[in-house]
Structures are given as structure tokens and as C-alpha cells.
Chain A
Amino acid sequence: MSTSTQPSTPVGKTARWVDDRYTTSNALRRNLGKVFPDHWSFMLGEVALYSFVILLLSGTYLTLFFKPSMVDVIYNGTYVPLKGVKMTEAYASSLDISFDVRGGLLMRQIHHWAALFFVGAMTIHMFRVFFTGAFRKPREVNWVIGTVLVLLGIVEGFAGYSLPDDLLSGTGLRITQGIASAIPIVGTYVSFGLFGGEFPGTDFLPRLYAIHILLIPGIILALVTAHLLMVWYQKHTQWPGPGRTENNVVGYRFFPVYMAKAGGFFFIVFGVTTLISAFVTINPVWMFGPYTPDQVSAGSQPDWYMGFLDGAVRVMPNLELVFWHHTLSLNLIVPAVVLPGIMTLLLGAYPWIEQFVTGDKREHHLLDRPRNTPTRTALGVTAITFYLMLWVSGANDIIATTFESSINAITISLRILLFVVPPIAFTITKRICLSLQRRDNDKLLHGHETGRLLRLPHGEFVEIHAPLTQKEQAEILGKVDMPVLALETVDANGVAAPWALVNNLRNRLSSWFYAINVAKPSPAELEAAAGHFSHVSAVELEATHRHREFEALGGVLHQPSEDESVNH
């Protein structure tokens, strides 16, 4: 956009008009020129974002036909196997959407599959952030926002699939009501408050509807905006690589490259969701029948994101305490209230937990390769394994019928495996990480094995090793070897320091976290190793060549400038 000459085209004139009033061009240029690093794993968050957009669009279509009412009607639509059956208006309108509204069934399936995608993509995106250490300072708050978003997504999905008031979701609501009532002292009040009296009543669905289409989407929208603004402002992290430091961002400008790719990816996500929704059934409410409290079907499972809770309730031993005619239902409180509470707290607080252990208070803009932080990676895998075991427990009856085995035996084994498998996963992951680190060091010092053998004049065979590319080298050398904490536990006079106990604990935890790491080769070792290759100069040549190529492709080596400095 030129400012010296008068624009002649309509677009130019409009731009000028806007610019004269809001001086947007500066801000626009700065923001459109913003550089984003590139990696496929950075697109998982995008999948979540696009699924949310799909949810908003398809959900709005559904509101045109859905009736959130628990008033009884006699169904008289086109679906014969339910004709003449008494049901709530909510269920009847869900059937109408499925069978009598044009495009209704496709829209319901898009909405539901997108919901599964939404929570699924958020979860996998969270794993990416966790395993690469992207949650470290200065991005802790965004990690917390993410945690809240996942929770809201779960609650929103649960609210959504409870709306059609079918037998399956009604069963889920009944369990939820049981859990609410099990909360000590206030439980009954909570349950009566939620349902406006005895379960199921007639108030609950309209309330849930307001929560589902207004309250939670509103909060999610606000948090997503905050989340993205923070990514924008704090800049995206990047993988270690040639020319990449803690103080720059190497990648493509937002406009046009990144925007084109993001736009294209939106259509891919929309396309895949629609394709799946056109060919694969989800939540066939007509099969379940209307909800009535006196019916429950075998094989009742919730959507995947609620599965771990269902599983926790299923494997929990049946413990109840009775004091003075009051029952404390540990069988519900522990798996459905205490456990998710602890899981959420640990998740949200993890950045600070790790800081406490490592004492690492520096800013990080370069990501960790998961193998380079074996303890964190192993902790993550342990948590995921625990979660998966809970989810599998939620499918115990399906496993029993599919594999023709005893549900009692499966449940008892799951109780044991729940505590045995995660520690095993921890040990195995840690070992894999360490051996990958060793292999990296090996590659640095000896290069790639080429598989080509050379026979020396005196008859000995040696394998030819090829040097690493500059990119590979930079990736491996991007690893930061962290020192183990050595906080004071005694002061100069040999007297226990004030925080001796805490410091001692931190020293030990830090040593657990870091001590096993395989140190990077020293510069001297690297230099000696480089001598092995007669073609070091070739490596350098190759590197400069690649750099030119990168620039020629439109890549930008972005150095912080005045108006756009990385916030250090």
C-alpha cells in the first residue's frame, strides 16, 4: 500500500479511506508479515480451532429445528419403528431432524463428529505441547487456558449429547445425577437444584440447552481468542535447527504463505469431517429409543471423552461407609469427584510443578525434543497410559462380549493393571529416550552408517560413515544439558538452612529428573570427530547451499527488529 501516490483502484481507495481514519496499514503490515515456524505437529491446535468453527455452524443449523422441551408428545413422524410411542419433544425433534429435515441427519452427524474431533484434537495438541516443553516460561498461563478449554470441551460435549433425551444419554444423565447426589452434605441439594426437583423432572433439558448453546460456547470463544492472542504476542515456539535461536523465529510470513496453508487446512478439516459424517453413523438416537428412568440397555457407553470417568466408576470397588444413617458413597465420590479433581489439578499445575523440580526459571522459545527430557516424556506417557486404562475399563462389557471372556475377571485384572502398567510404561519410555540420546551422540561423532563397506589394502573391512547434514546436526546440538539443582541445605556455619527440607527435596527431585541424561559431546570431541571426515568442507558447502535454497523458496530468516522484538 503506497502512501505517497493517490490510489486509483476502488480497492486502493477503500484501503486509503480506512487507513486515513484508523492508520491500520502499519499494524497490518506488521501482523501480516509476522513469521510463523512450521511443523506438522503445530497444526493439531488448528484442527481443534476449525472443528470449533464447524461446531458453531452446524450447531446453529440444529437450533433451527431442535426443541429443548421435556413435554411428552406422541411421535408421528416418518420413522415407523417409533410411531405412536410416547416421548419428550426434545427426542421427537431429534428424530425429526434425523428423518424429516432436509440435510438434518448429515448436519447432526457433522455436529457430533466435529465434537469428537474438537476434544480429540485439543487433547492431542495438548500432548504435543507437553512433550515438547512448549508450556515452559513464558507460556504457563496459556497452558492453563488450554487445560480449561479441554475441560469445557468435555462438559460441552456431554451437555450436547444429553440434549436429544434418548435412552443412552438419559442413562448418562442418571449416573451424573447419582454422582451429584453422592457429594457429601450438599449432594441432594446439588441434584435437586440441577434438575429442579426429582430426577428427571421437566426443567433440566431447557437449562442444559442454554448452557450448551450459549454459556459454554461463549466462554470457549473468549478463551480461544485469548489463547490465540497470546500465541501471537508471545510468538510461536520452534524446533531447534540451523539459524534458530531463543531470540528469533525462522519460518514463513503469516501473509501469504501461512494464511494460504491455514485456509487450505480449514477446508481439509471441514471436508474430512463432512465425508466421515456422510458415510459413518454416529449416535443413532433412533436406535436407542426415548429415555425413561425404568429402562437401561446393555452396552451403554458415553462419548469417548467421558469414557475415562465411566471406566473409573466401573473399576472402583464397591465401598460405602455409613455413619448415623448417612451413607458416604466412596464408590462414586472417589472415581467421579476426587480422581478427576486431582487429574485436573496436576494437569493445570504441571508447568509450576516442573519448575519446582528443575529450578528452571529461564524463558524458552526453542522446543525440547521429547527424547532429550526423558523424565518428562516418561511422566507424560505414564499419565496417558493411566488414562487409557481407565477408558478401557469403561468398555469392560464390550470387551467381555467381543472376546467371550468373564466381565468379572476383566474388571479384577483392570484394577491391577491400572496400577501396574503405568509404571512399566514409565520405565520403558525413559529407557527408549536415553538410548535415542546415545544414538544421537553417536551420529554426531561418527556420522550416518551408510551400509557401504570398504576393504582396506591389508584386508580389513570398514564401513563408510557419511557426515550429518547441517540441519540434523543443529537439531541434535539444540539439546540443552541442564545441571542438577544443588540448593543449600546447610549455611556457612554448618547449620541447617531455613528451607533445608524443601531444598533437599528439590535437589533430589532434580537429580531424578536430570541426572540420568546422556551429556552432549563436548566441543573438543566434536572437533576431533569432524577431523574424521575428509569432506568437512563439503558439509559447509552443502549448508550454505541449503540456506540459499531456503531463501529462494521465500523463507525468511527472521531477526527481531525494533517494532517486533521477541519479548525478552
Chain B
Amino acid sequence: MKGKPAVNVSSSKRRRPMAAGVLLLLALVSTGAAYAVTTSALSAKSSSAANADNARQGKLLFTEGCSSCHGLAAQGGSNGPSLVGVGAAAVDFQVGTGRMPMAAAGVQARRKPPVYTQAEIDKLAAYVASLGPGPSVPKASQYDFSDANVAAGGEIYRLNCSQCHNYAGKGGALSDGKVAPQLMDASPKQIYEAMITGPQSMPVFSDRQIPAKNKQEIIAYINYLQSAPDPGGSALGRLGPVTETVFLFTVAIGALVAFAIWIGSKAR
């Protein structure tokens, strides 16, 4: 039995000719600058208008679906914390993973199918972002992990995440009924957002603690965990010795005892 790992990310970085890179960069910068100069006034106006528009619509959605707990101006209430300054990323994460709107008061909002469409989530996020500065929704390039080193990600993951989320991303118990959830369903974007917003009992991992490149490596490792085959055969839920024991005393020893009884009965 030989395991063929699913991920085959090359760890050696490709070396491009230096000159070509510099040239390309120069070209990009100059076109970019030219474009910016000609269109800046226009685009700034329209994008801020669009943002304002989004935020206005977001406020409506918010009043309807969130204010009962977070207060009419998201200032917080007895049923939910203030959202001033949590940033668009927090909203995108919380509503995108279905945690918000919270179904019922409990120790922790659990992941469930999202209630809002992505367009609505963007509006809610724009509204909350308009209340105060906070982490914004990451761009696709930020959580793109196609060039990231899985093994390095594994190291960082074990050091920073496994004490709560378990070595295999199977989750773990925290105090008083809280849990660090399993990570099998989280998308790369959500993983990134979780790190920059630190939902609930999870700490925030700023870029100073874990630089963006390392974040991508972590995402690559979690992606590996989500898709990795089990070279040793059925992994019994990857829950470790507990399920191994249950299997041992039911199926395995059960089979042997059945054989023993069979042989014993042949004796008579």
C-alpha cells in the first residue's frame, strides 16, 4: 500500500527572468497611472455612490433581520454585540457561513446554510463597514493558495490552530459548551476571514502574527485536509483512538468471538 498524496504543490518557486519582470511591472504601473489620472474623478464618484447605495440598502436589510439583537444602529444590545468597527469581513464571514442571523440565543452561533444571497451579504457588509473602519472582505488573490507550500502550512497550522481545531481539522471542545468547529466545509475565503476577524472565542491572526503568504499556506493545508485520501484505509472519521477502540471492541473482537463460538460449536 502506497499513499499517493492528493496535493502536489511544488514548493520550489519558479524563477522568472528578472528583467522581464521589472519591465512588465513598469508597463503596468505606467498604464495604471495613466488610467487612474483620466478616470479617477469619475470612478471615485461612482464607486462611493455605489457604496453609499449598497450601504443604504444594507441598512434596510439590517433593520429587518439583525437589529432585534444588534440594535437599530448596530450599536449592540442585550442580545448581540456592537458591530461598529467589526468590518465587512466579519459580516461576510458570519452571514456567509450562515451563523448570522442567529437562530436562537445559545452559547454560540453554529454554521448552517446561509439565509442571504451573496448580493444581500455584500450590502449588509457595506452598511456595517460604513459604521467604522475594520477588516474588509479579502480579494480572491489574497486567499488564492495555488502556489502555496502545503507542508509549511501544516507547520503553521499545527502551531496556531490545531490546539482548538484538532490536527485533522475535526474540531475540538472549548469551555462551557463552546466548540472550535470542524473545518471540513469552510471555503478558502471563509478561512481567510476567520483568521482576520477572529470570530467569537477564536483569536485574531493579524498579518503581523501570520503574514499573508503564511495564511495562504494554512489555507492550502486545510484544503489538503478537506480533500486528502486516507492511504491506510477507512480512517474511522479521523477521530483517533476513541473510534479505533469502539471499532476494536465491536467489529474486530466481535468477529473473532463469533469465529471462536463457531469453532467451539463444531466440537459437540
Question: Which A positions have Cβ atoms within 8 angstroms of B?
Answer: 38-44, 47, 78-85, 98-100, 103, 105-106, 109, 113, 116-117, 120-121, 124, 167-168, 252, 261, 264-265, 268-269, 272, 276, 278-284, 286-289, 294-304, 307, 391, 395-398, 400-401, 404-409
Contact = CB atoms under 8 A, between A and B. Distances in A.
A289 B158 contact: yes
B5 A167 contact: no
B238 A287 contact: yes
Given A40-B264, A301-B240, A80 B7 contact: yes
B231 A408 contact: no
B152 interface: yes
Contacts, number: 213
Contact of B260 (A44, A252, A404, A408): A44
A84 B151 contact: yes
Contacts of A47: 253, 256, 260
Interface string B221-256: 100100010111111101111101101110111011
B155 interface: yes
B154 A82 contact: yes
A43 B164 CA distance: 44
B159 to A, nearest CB: 6
Nearest to A252: B267
A85 B236 CA distance: 27
A44 B263 CA distance: 12
A121 B249 CA distance: 10
Nearest to A471: B268
10 contacts: A78-B5, A80-B5, A80-B9, A105-B231, A268-B259, A282-B232, A284-B232, A297-B158, A301-B240, A400-B173
Interface of B: 1-3, 5, 7-9, 11, 107, 149-152, 154-155, 158-159, 162-168, 170-177, 179-180, 182, 221, 224, 228, 230-236, 238-242, 244-245, 247-249, 251-253, 255-257, 259-261, 263-267
A106 B233 CA distance: 10
Contacts of B174: 407
B240 A168 contact: yes
Given A105-B3, A106-B1, A295 B9 contact: no
A42 B264 CA distance: 9
A453 B116 CA distance: 70
Greatest chain A CB density within 10 A among B8, B107, B174, B232 is at: B232
Given A82-B154, A116-B244, A38 B162 contact: no
Contacts of B3: 78-79, 98-99, 105, 286
Given A296-B163, A304-B244, A395-B242, A167 B158 contact: yes
Given A85-B151, A99-B231, 8 more contacts: A38-B264, A81-B221, A84-B152, A103-B1, A121-B256, A284-B230, A295-B159, A297-B167
A299 B253 CA distance: 25
Contact of A298 (B180, B236, B253): B180
A555 to B, nearest CB: 9
B231 to A, nearest CB: 6
A84 B11 contact: yes
B248 A120 contact: yes
B233 A117 contact: no
B173 A298 contact: yes
B263 A85 contact: no
Contacts of B265: 40
A285 B240 CA distance: 10
A322 to B, nearest CB: 25
Nearest to A410: B173
A272 B234 contact: no
Contacts of A39: 264
Contacts of A120: 248-249, 253
Contacts of A167: 158, 162, 167
Contacts of A286: 3
A395 B243 CA distance: 10
B166 A307 contact: no
B247 A298 contact: no
Contact of B252 (A44, A117, A287): A117
B263 A105 contact: no
Contacts of A79: 3, 5
A40 B259 CA distance: 9
B244 A282 contact: yes
Given A43-B260, A287-B167, A407 B173 contact: yes
Contacts of A281: 230-236
Contact of A105 (B158, B170, B232): B232
Given A268-B259, A288-B167, A121 B253 contact: yes
B253 A408 contact: no
B264 to A, nearest CB: 3
Nearest to A296: B163
A116 B248 contact: yes
B166 A85 contact: no
Given A397-B173, A401-B173, A289 B167 contact: yes
A450 B266 CA distance: 27
A144 B122 CA distance: 71
Given A99-B3, A299-B239, A40 B263 contact: yes
A298 B164 contact: yes
Given A81-B151, A287-B238, A304-B244, A272 B224 contact: no
B259 A272 contact: yes
Contacts of B173: 298, 396-397, 400-401, 407
Nearest to A303: B241
A396 B101 CA distance: 30
Contacts of B266: 261
Nearest to A299: B166
A391 B84 CA distance: 47
B176 A406 contact: yes
Greatest chain A CB density within 10 A among B163, B172, B266 is at: B172
Contact of B154 (A81, A252, A395): A81
Given A113-B252, A307-B245, A400-B179, A265 B260 contact: yes
Contacts of A303: 241, 244-245
A84 B11 CA distance: 9
A304 to B, nearest CB: 4
Contacts of B236: 280-281
A304 B259 contact: no
Contact of B253 (A124, A300, A301): A124
A406 B177 contact: yes
Contact of A272 (B2, B5, B228, B256): B256
Nearest to A408: B176
B9 to A, nearest CB: 7
B165 A298 contact: yes
A390 to B, nearest CB: 13
A289 B236 CA distance: 19
Contacts of B253: 47, 117, 120-121, 124
Q: Which 9 A-B pairs give the minimum distances between C-beta atoms?
A: A298-B172, A406-B177, A40-B264, A281-B232, A400-B173, A304-B245, A297-B167, A43-B260, A397-B173
Contact of A297 (B152, B162, B260): B162
A330 B131 CA distance: 53
Contacts of B257: 40, 44
A168 B167 contact: yes
B166 A298 contact: yes
